[in-house]
Amino acid sequence: MVLEKLKNFFSRNTYMTEEKKNMQQTEETTASAPEHDSAGLPPVDVYVDMTPNPNALKFIVNIPVKNSGNSTYRSPTECGENKLAREIFTVRGVDQLHIFENIITVSKFSYQDWSEIEDQIVAIITKMMPEHDADYFDPDPEEERRRNLPQDLKDIEAVLDKTIRPGLQGDGGDIQTVKYENNVLLVKYQGACGTCPSSSTGTLEAIRAILRDEYNPDIEVYIAPEF
């Protein structure tokens, strides 16, 4: 029963609750015809939501930010042609960004208060999204990495894809397998998961339990050391 609850938790899309969806539908039903800009696009709306990580917030946009895949940036130099991401990094205290579908998850350094930067980030997104290309080119090292994985890690990644990854991505993060040897799996977190206090305790225990049920009953899972 506990394991089934863990699977349901990680497999559901956690970024918007049913209550929020109902509120949004009510607003759409009661509102007058939506306004559009000169290019015929709807106005940009940004909804800010919490994540399990107190140093990360999700900025949920009403239009796509990335049409396929996801992007993780740890510095402005990694942003490539993504002008929106580069501009968000100009806000003091921003540590890293994770972009998935219509969600921009911003992680900050612990010394910075959200009250000082949240409105700045919303303003940047609102200003730049009308010119943002959701099909922007981003080198995809993840595709190359997964293509070259040994078969055992490919099998583990397949389990992560269907059980764990959707929940992590919904909370602005992700996970990568690093090494599997002698029943020991090393993983690396991305985005909001990387600095989340629960990532090395409850979340890791849940991942271990699911992999033991779905892949190998003797598997151990640890966070790979950073070099």
Q: What is the CATH number of the domain that holds 125?
A: 3.30.1370.70
All residues at 6 or more sequence positions from 159 whose CB lies less than 8 Å from its CB, including other chains: 210, 211, 214, 215
Query: Which of 85, 107, 131 is where one domain is finished?
Result: 131
Pairing type for strands 173-181 and 220-223 reads unpaired
Domain co-membership, 121 together with 183 = no
Domain co-membership, 20 together with 90 = yes
Q: Is the pLDDT of residue 120 over 60?
A: yes
Domain co-membership, 65 together with 102 = yes
Domain co-membership, 166 together with 67 = no
In a domain, 49, yes or no: yes
pLDDT at res. 56: 92
In a domain, 35, yes or no: no
pLDDT at res. 63: 95
pLDDT at res. 191: 73
C-alpha 10/C-alpha 170 separation (Å) is 9
Residues paired with residue 21 on neighbouring β-strands, in sequence order: none
Which tens digit of pLDDT belongs to each residue from 14-49?
A: 434 344 444 444 333 223 334 555 456 679 999 999
Q: Domain tally for the chain?
A: 2
Domain co-membership, 82 together with 113 = yes
Which tens digit of pLDDT belongs to each residue from 178-222?
A: 999 999 999 988 777 766 666 666 788 889 999 999 999 999 999
Domain co-membership, 104 together with 17 = yes
Which tens digit of pLDDT belongs to each residue from 133-170?
A: 999 988 767 777 888 999 999 999 999 999 888 888 87
If you ran DSSP here, which 8-state letter would residue 44 be given?
P
If you ran DSSP here, which 8-state letter would residue 37 be given?
-
Which tens digit of pLDDT belongs to each residue from 59-102?
A: 999 999 999 888 889 899 989 889 999 999 999 999 999 998 99
C-alpha 28/C-alpha 105 separation (Å) is 25
Structural domain range at position 193 = 141-223
Domain co-membership, 180 together with 125 = no
C-alpha 3/C-alpha 1 separation (Å) is 5
In a domain, 18, yes or no: yes
In a domain, 6, yes or no: no
Contact 163, 184 (CB under 8 A): no
Which secondary-structure segment (H or E) carries 178? strand 173-181
Domain co-membership, 24 together with 107 = yes
Query: Which of 113, 131, 149 is where one domain is finished?
Result: 131
In a domain, 47, yes or no: yes
The CATH code of the domain that includes 200 is 3.30.300.130
Neighbours of 193 (CB within 10 A): 26
Domain co-membership, 24 together with 111 = yes
Residues paired with residue 59 on neighbouring β-strands, in sequence order: 48, 104
Which secondary-structure segment (H or E) carries 124? helix 114-128
Domain co-membership, 168 together with 219 = yes
In a domain, 2, yes or no: no
C-alpha 170/C-alpha 138 separation (Å) is 20
Contact 195, 53 (CB under 8 A): yes
Tokens 């989340």 sit at which residue?
Answer: 196
pLDDT at res. 26: 34
In a domain, 7, yes or no: no
Domain co-membership, 146 together with 127 = no
Question: Which phi and psi (to 5°) does residue 134 adopt?
Answer: -70, -10
Q: Which two tokens stand for residue 226?
A: 């950073």
Tokens 């909804």 sit at which residue?
Answer: 47
